[in-house]
Amino acid sequence: MKPSLAAVLRAELAAAGDPAKAPAMQAYMKSVMPYYGITAPQLVAVCKRVFAEFPISTAPAWQRTCLTLYRRAKFREERYAAIGLTGHHLYLEFQNLDTLPMYEEMIVTGAWWDLVDSIAPKRLGNLLRLYPGPMRKEMLRWSKSDDLWKRRSAIICQLSFKQDTDLKLLYACMEPSLESKEFFLRKAIGWALRQYAWTDPEEVRRYVREHEQQLSGLSKREALKHVARVRR
């Protein structure tokens, strides 16, 4: 019987790992889950090889595989690999609104920036481009969630949009968290504004000025970090 993608992937990751590097990686990420000790290029190489060897023919099977890898991960790189599989070029046609519950589960259960920030700008952002109407409504709901990682995701899902940024949506997703004391929400607001400042620095200056009393110092510093260097 041919081994499964998950089994081969775990074996390959274990073989590529460096136990001497693993503790420092785990400490840096403040992760309860241990690391194999694999560099980013090594992880990409292993995933590319294994994913090519085990193509998946249907969207339900692909989603099951992604979620199984993520849910049963014993090492953090296995979760990185699962997120990588969600964005693999072979499965671009499977990216539709049916994938949103998968990403929501990964975000809520992952509950840390390294996982959330790999999903929100790329996977949620892609769905927002493809399905702007329903995704806009969903991100507005997420922005008011009791879960801070869903809020963060709604704020940063347009990081790569540049001139295509829906400013009304961005500001609406930030608004419920403007006065939050949560570091990861304050950072997300500043990050989203900083990214848009490369496109329209004057708009970001205006926004920061008008929300001076609501924005945290961290959000304002992040938002204006590169504004002086940007030329329209």
In this structure, the answer to whether residues 148 and 193 fall within a common structural domain is yes
Segment 141-168 shows an average pLDDT of: 98
Which pLDDT score is estimated for 2? Answer: 76
Segment 186-198 shows an average pLDDT of: 97
Which pLDDT score is estimated for 147? Answer: 98
- Tell me: the pLDDT tens digits for 59-111? 999 999 999 999 999 999 999 999 999 999 999 999 999 999 999 999 999 99
pLDDT greater than 60 at residue 178: yes
C-alpha distances (whole Å) from 187 to each of 21, 40, 77, 95, 196 are: 28, 24, 25, 28, 14
Which pLDDT score is estimated for 231? Answer: 55
Give, in degrees to the nearest 5, the angle at Cα 130 between 88 and 191: 80
Segment 198-220 shows an average pLDDT of: 96
End residue of a domain, out of 57, 77, 94: 94
Radius of gyration of the chain (CA): 19
In this structure, the answer to whether residues 47 and 138 fall within a common structural domain is no
The residues, any chain, with a CB within 8 Å of residue 196's CB and separated by 6 or more, are: 162, 165, 167, 170, 203, 204
Which pLDDT score is estimated for 3? Answer: 82
Distance from C-alpha of 70 to C-alpha of 83, rounded to nearest angstrom: 8
Which pLDDT score is estimated for 70? Answer: 97
In the structure, what pLDDT confidence band is assigned to residue 1 with cuts at 50, 70 and 90? confident
Tokens in use for 48? 């590319």
Please indicate, yes or no, if residue 201 is contained in any of the structural domains.
yes
Residue closest to 177 by CA, chosen among 152, 197, 158: 152
Tokens in use for 155? 């704020």
In the structure, what pLDDT confidence band is assigned to residue 228 with cuts at 50, 70 and 90? low
Segment 48-64 shows an average pLDDT of: 96
C-alpha distances (whole Å) from 91 to each of 11, 63, 85 are: 23, 10, 8
In this structure, the answer to whether residues 163 and 225 fall within a common structural domain is yes
In the structure, what pLDDT confidence band is assigned to residue 230 with cuts at 50, 70 and 90? low
- Tell me: the pLDDT tens digits for 107-138? 999 999 999 999 999 999 999 999 999 999 99
Overall number of domains in the chain: 2
Share the mean pLDDT of the chain: 95
pLDDT greater than 90 at residue 220: yes
Domain boundaries, position 211 = 121-232
CATH number of the domain bearing residue 7: 1.25.10.90
Please indicate, yes or no, if residue 106 is contained in any of the structural domains.
no
What share of the chain has pLDDT > 70, as a percent?
98
Please indicate, yes or no, if residue 6 is contained in any of the structural domains.
yes
Give, in degrees to the nearest 5, the angle at Cα 204 between 200 and 209: 150
Please indicate, yes or no, if residue 100 is contained in any of the structural domains.
no
In this structure, the answer to whether residues 81 and 131 fall within a common structural domain is no
What share of the chain has pLDDT > 90, as a percent?
95
In this structure, the answer to whether residues 90 and 125 fall within a common structural domain is no
